[in-house]
């Protein structure tokens, strides 16, 4: 799952791939999905699956579940806020 880091934009993006780093590069260079063009993205969650079918099924469910996406985003923010506090 990606979240936009473009100023003033609150968007998330969910998709499946077999190469997360390449996919993120494409999204950030305007060569990814149409809905991601024009924004900068940060990877906040990924999960591995054995089969493409399992990955697609999870993607579908996550796209439909706004509460789960919001929880993933909030957990990411909380974890990184705590990490910053521990560093300082």
Instruction: Residue 43: name the closest of 80, 87, 86 by CA.
Output: 80
Is 13 within 8 Å of 41 (Cβ atoms)? Answer: yes
Put simply, whether the predicted model's pTM sits higher than 0.75 gets the answer yes
Distance from C-alpha of 65 to C-alpha of 3, rounded to nearest angstrom: 15
Q: What is the pLDDT of residues 53-64, one digit of tens each?
A: 999 999 999 999
Give the relative orientation of helices 66-87 and 52-64 as an angle to the nearest 10 degrees.
Answer: 90
C-alpha dist (Å) from residue 38 to 11, 20, 52:
12, 19, 28
Q: Tell me the per-residue pLDDT of 1-26, one tens digit each, with 9 for 90 and over.
A: 999 998 888 899 999 999 999 999 99
């Amino acid at each position: 799952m990606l979240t936009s880091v473009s100023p003033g934009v609150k968007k998330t993006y969910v998709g499946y791939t077999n190469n997360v780093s390449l996919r993120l590069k494409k999204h950030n260079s305007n060569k990814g999905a149409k809905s991601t063009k024009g924004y900068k993205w940060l990877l906040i969650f990924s999960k591995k699956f054995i089969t493409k079918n399992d990955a697609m099924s999870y993607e579908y469910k996550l796209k439909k579940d706004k509460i789960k996406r919001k929880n993933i985003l909030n957990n990411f923010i909380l974890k990184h806020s705590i990490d910053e506090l521990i560093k300082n």
